[in-house]
């Protein structure tokens, strides 16, 4: 494998300085939802321009770059990553640290500790470089590590024209964390037979299957009444909504499930006794179970609202579908990754995503889009960390995939 450790780490550290935390409350209202995202997208377009790629950045706020083929009759393939970071904890003002890990717990600022006992993979990187935040924000390896790895590979391909390839499309998207990143994707420009997202976790992971995902918005309207004379008259919207939430099975929540088990999860509730709203996430790998969960949630909500004589409105949004169908219809999508890894001595294994990627939305159009590791750990948390060696492996895997298609 080539050694990209110094350059990919420096690139990643540079990208982490952009404040690209997305804002779910503005999804569908502003694109991208935060200004820092468009700042980084403009920088990435500029860097691709400098490398000589054909580029595009339109009102969709998606960067497209094309590295033109240097040999005929090789399929067009694509690589994709998103520039936004999550808002689970503060994702702005990141102060990233790169250092040699010497073993044991990693003590960061603000009382944040990355515990060795809870992160067994750390033991593999004793004496090697890792990157963390300062402990007061997330790091942003999801997905600036993926962006960095793709950019490093493109730079290498440009400077090594002896590596044969067809057209290679590069896509950098906004607002993946809000679920709206692909809502205005320039699908009309896409030419790839197969695309790959670099948006996974620990080194070696390859993911060709993800959740089906939906969001239900529950809006309950109650009846206002002076509390002193409320008996038999007041209908408290918060009470109704709380009863709906507690009726959902706790054994089928994110904190109670793993593997292929789906779940119900209320992520937000707001309002007053007169009107209250809640956001309910539905996730399942199986299509039939997924559809059952949606309908069961509606039945529970409507039944409880009826008992309390409250009005309820329910809207359903499908966020993404399981990408397994599209990926299985083009076996080369996953085969190319596994054989490319073998060619460079990289041990890979296939797993599932208890979540989704922009690639899942792309797969709905029929273009397979498996997900590849970036090397990151503990995404969406203050304890996030990424080994530089793993980022190096991701860059080399991308290059090996390009060579696989050239065969």
Which tens digit of pLDDT belongs to each residue from 77-89? 999 999 999 999 9
Q: Of the residues 19, 60, 84, 143, which is catalytic?
A: 84
What is the pLDDT, as a whole number, of residue 145?
98
> At 295, is the pLDDT very low, low, confident or very high (cuts 50, 70, 90)?
very high
Instruction: Tell me the average pLDDT across 302-313.
Output: 97
Is 142 assigned to a binding site? Answer: yes
> At 312, is the pLDDT very low, low, confident or very high (cuts 50, 70, 90)?
very high
Instruction: Tell me the average pLDDT across 388-402.
Output: 98
End-to-end CA distance of the chain: 19
- Give catalytic status of residue 3 as yes or no: no
For residue 180, pLDDT over 90 is answered with no
> At 356, is the pLDDT very low, low, confident or very high (cuts 50, 70, 90)?
confident
What is the pLDDT, as a whole number, of residue 357?
87
In angstroms, rounded to a whole number, what is the distance separating the alpha carbons of residues 372 and 150? Answer: 11
What is the pLDDT, as a whole number, of residue 179?
84
What is the pLDDT, as a whole number, of residue 183?
87
Strands 194-200 and 77-82 turn out to be parallel
Instruction: Tell me the average pLDDT across 10-21.
Output: 98
Q: Coil, strand, or helix at residue 240?
A: helix
- Give catalytic status of residue 176 as yes or no: yes
Is 199 assigned to a binding site? Answer: yes
**Token pair 């190096």: residue:** 392
Under 8 Å between Cβ of 214 and 296: no
> At 109, is the pLDDT very low, low, confident or very high (cuts 50, 70, 90)?
very high
What is the pLDDT, as a whole number, of residue 60?
95
What is the pLDDT, as a whole number, of residue 8?
98
The number of CA neighbours under 13 Å toward the Cβ of 5 is 14
What is the pLDDT, as a whole number, of residue 168?
98
* CA 144 and chain centroid, separation: 11
Of the chain, the percentage scoring pLDDT greater than 90 comes to 94
What is the pLDDT, as a whole number, of residue 401?
98
Question: How large is the C-alpha radius of gyration of the chain?
Answer: 23
Instruction: Tell me the average pLDDT across 151-170.
Output: 98
User: Taking the alpha carbons of 234, 235, 241, 243 in that order, is the dihedral positive or negative?
Assistant: positive
Number of neighbours of residue 29 by Cβ within 10 angstroms: 9
In angstroms, rounded to a whole number, what is the distance separating the alpha carbons of residues 108 and 382? Answer: 9
For residue 293, pLDDT over 90 is answered with yes
For residue 181, pLDDT over 90 is answered with no
What is the pLDDT, as a whole number, of residue 277?
97
What is the pLDDT, as a whole number, of residue 14?
98
In angstroms, rounded to a whole number, what is the distance separating the alpha carbons of residues 222 and 241? Answer: 10
Q: pLDDT per residue over 313-349, tens digit each?
A: 999 999 899 999 889 999 999 999 999 999 999 999 9
> At 406, is the pLDDT very low, low, confident or very high (cuts 50, 70, 90)?
very high
The ranges assigned to domains in the chain are 5-210+322-406, 212-320
Q: pLDDT per residue over 215-257, tens digit each?
A: 999 999 999 999 999 999 999 999 999 999 999 999 999 999 9
Instruction: Tell me the average pLDDT across 144-161.
Output: 98
Q: Of the residues 176, 209, 284, 383, which is catalytic?
A: 176
φ and ψ of 376, to 5 deg:
-75, 155
What is the pLDDT, as a whole number, of residue 6?
98
DSSP structural state of residue 89: S
CATH number for the region 212-320 comes to: 3.30.70.360
pTM beyond cutoff 0.85: yes
Under 8 Å between Cβ of 159 and 51: no
Q: Which pairs with CB-CB distance under 8 Å and at least 24 residues apart come from 45-54?
A: 47/151, 48/154, 48/170, 51/154, 51/155, 51/158, 52/158, 53/154, 53/158, 53/170
Is 88 assigned to a binding site? Answer: no
Tokens matching residue 70 = 């240097």
Instruction: Tell me the average pLDDT across 117-130.
Output: 98
Instruction: Tell me the average pLDDT across 137-148.
Output: 98
What is the pLDDT, as a whole number, of residue 363?
92
Pick one of 3.40.50.2000, 3.10.180.10, 3.40.630.10, 3.30.230.10 as the CATH number of 5-210+322-406.
3.40.630.10
């Amino acid at each position: 494998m080539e050694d990209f450790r110094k350059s990919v780490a420096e690139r990643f550290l540079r990208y982490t300085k952009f404040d690209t935390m997305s804002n779910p409350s503005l999804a569908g209202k502003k694109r991208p939802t935060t200004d820092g995202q468009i700042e980084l997208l403009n920088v990435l377009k500029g860097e691709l321009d400098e490398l000589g790629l054909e580029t595009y950045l339109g009102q969709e706020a998606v960067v497209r770059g094309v590295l033109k083929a240097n040999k005929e009759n090789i399929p067009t393939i694509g690589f994709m990553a998103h520039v936004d970071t999550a808002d689970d904890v503060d994702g702005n003002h990141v102060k990233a640290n790169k250092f040699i890990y010497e073993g044991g717990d990693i003590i960061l600022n603000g009382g944040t500790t990355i515990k060795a006992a809870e992160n067994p993979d750390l033991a593999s990187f004793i004496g090697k470089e890792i990157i963390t935040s300062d402990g007061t924000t997330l790091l942003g390896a999801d997905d600036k590590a993926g962006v960095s790895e793709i950019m490093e590979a493109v730079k290498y391909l440009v400077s090594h024209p002896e590596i044969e390839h067809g057209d290679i499309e590069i896509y950098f998207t906004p607002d993946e964390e809000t679920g709206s990143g692909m809502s205005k994707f320039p699908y009309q420009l896409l030419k790839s037979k197969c695309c790959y997202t670099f948006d996974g976790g620990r080194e070696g992971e390859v993911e060709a299957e993800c959740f089906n995902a939906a969001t239900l918005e529950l809006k309950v309207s109650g009846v206002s009444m002076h509390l002193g004379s409320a008996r038999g008259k007041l209908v408290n919207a918060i009470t109704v909504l709380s009863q709906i939430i507690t009726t959902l099975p706790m054994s089928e929540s994110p904190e109670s499930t793993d593997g292929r088990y789906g779940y119900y999860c209320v992520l937000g509730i707001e309002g007053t006794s007169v009107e209250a709203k809640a956001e309910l996430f539905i996730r399942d790998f199986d299509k039939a179970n997924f559809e059952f969960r949606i309908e069961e949630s509606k039945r529970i909500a409507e039944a409880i609202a009826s008992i309390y004589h409250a009005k309820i409105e329910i809207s359903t949004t499908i966020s993404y579908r399981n990408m397994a169908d599209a990926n299985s219809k083009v076996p080369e999508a996953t085969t190319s990754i596994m054989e490319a890894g073998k060619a460079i001595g990289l041990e890979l294994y296939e797993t599932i995503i208890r979540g989704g990627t922009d690639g899942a939305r792309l797969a709905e159009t029929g273009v397979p889009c498996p997900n590849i590791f970036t090397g990151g750990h503990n995404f969406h948390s203050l304890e996030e960390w990424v080994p530089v060696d793993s980022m190096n492996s991701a860059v080399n895997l991308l290059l090996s995939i390009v060579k696989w298609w050239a065969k």
